[in-house]
Amino acid sequence: MKKLKLQSGDQIPMFGLGTWKSEPGEVYEAVKEAIKVGYRHIDCSPIYGNEKEIGNALSDVFKEGIVQREDLWITSKLWCNAHGANRVLPAVESTLRDLQIDYLDLYLIHWPIVLKPEVLYPEKGSDLLSLAQVPLLDTWKGMQDIHSKGLSKNIGVSNFSIKKIKHLIEGSGVTPSVNQIEMHPYLPQVQMNEFAQENNIVLTAYSPLGSFDRLPQFKRADEPNLFKDIVVNKIAEKHKSSPAQVLIKWAIDRNTVVIPKSVNKNRIKQNLEATKLKLDKEDMNAIDNVGIDYRFLDGSIWAIPDSPYTIENLWDE
């Protein structure tokens, strides 16, 4: 499996299993199956509500001798209600307990958004705290502390704009090793890609298939469907592959890490096989010129009345 080198010298597998929306009752089998067929990278977060089941799957694959801990790349994330220099340590310790491992390969600040400690998702503006109240640099300091304790081999961010990453670098001298962001042909993140390359930051593409299984309240009725995209389908037909495989290989060929989610045995295997697909220049150009701009996760859950966050100040666009 192809890998990308991070600033630490560690190599992150370019293909991994996403676990957002994988229900606790199905994620155990999904993770086990994925590792059995050859996945070596699992992307997690406590807010997905399934880290305990993933921990059971990891514990069993280790016990059964299918792989060892050092064969796997495991990422998790700091949820928004645990920002602040001193709150990162208990959060990562809880995730490590749930995952039944003693270190992460990568730990990310999940969003540049702060929630009050007792809140998981905001229902009203007062559930949120501003970045003036809890500065990102304080949280970044907490991330550096858990890194120096060896609890995560690498640290990074997710859903950060160029402006916010620059702020971290300028304020701390420490560059995040990864930024995990929504990325697919409708949101190719061209500027972010250039910035990441210049700064030796690896990008991971989340929702690479458009996250069609999001809860209805997070979907717009008129949103486009990547699986039905004419250009993607034509290329899939040409290579006797599926649209999902084309989307996965497009991400890898752009030198980004990609973490499609599936809990279905056949699709778990099919997605891994996408890494062998050979897209040519013409295919890549056609996808790059697909002509639709769309962000599936626009951040509107944070931009509620009286929240310090707006769509504009979240993405800095």
**Contacting positions for ligand A2P (CB under 6 A):** 18, 207-213, 242, 244, 260-264, 267, 270-271
What residue spans of the chain are helical by DSSP H? 24-37, 51-63, 88-99, 136-148, 162-172, 190-198, 230-238, 243-253, 265-273, 281-288, 311-315
d(CA 42, CA 240): 27
d(CA 226, CA 212): 9
End-to-end, the C-alpha distance of the chain in Å comes to 35
Q: Write down the catalytic residue from 39, 48, 107, 186.
A: 48
Contact partners, residue 9, CB within 8 Å, separation at least 6: none
Of 121 and 218, CB closest to ligand A2P: 218
CA 303, 195, 172, 80 torsion: positive or negative?
Answer: positive
Edge-to-edge strand ranges of the sheet holding 41-43:
17-18, 41-43, 73-78, 106-109, 155-158, 178-182, 202-206, 257-258
Query: Is 28 a catalytic site residue?
Result: no
User: Of 42, 317, 295, which Cα lies nearest the Cα of 185?
Assistant: 295
Residue 20: CB minimum distance to ligand A2P, A:
6
Of 143 and 232, CB closest to ligand A2P: 232
CA 102, 108, 111, 112 torsion: positive or negative?
Answer: positive
Which residues does the annotation mark as catalytic? 48
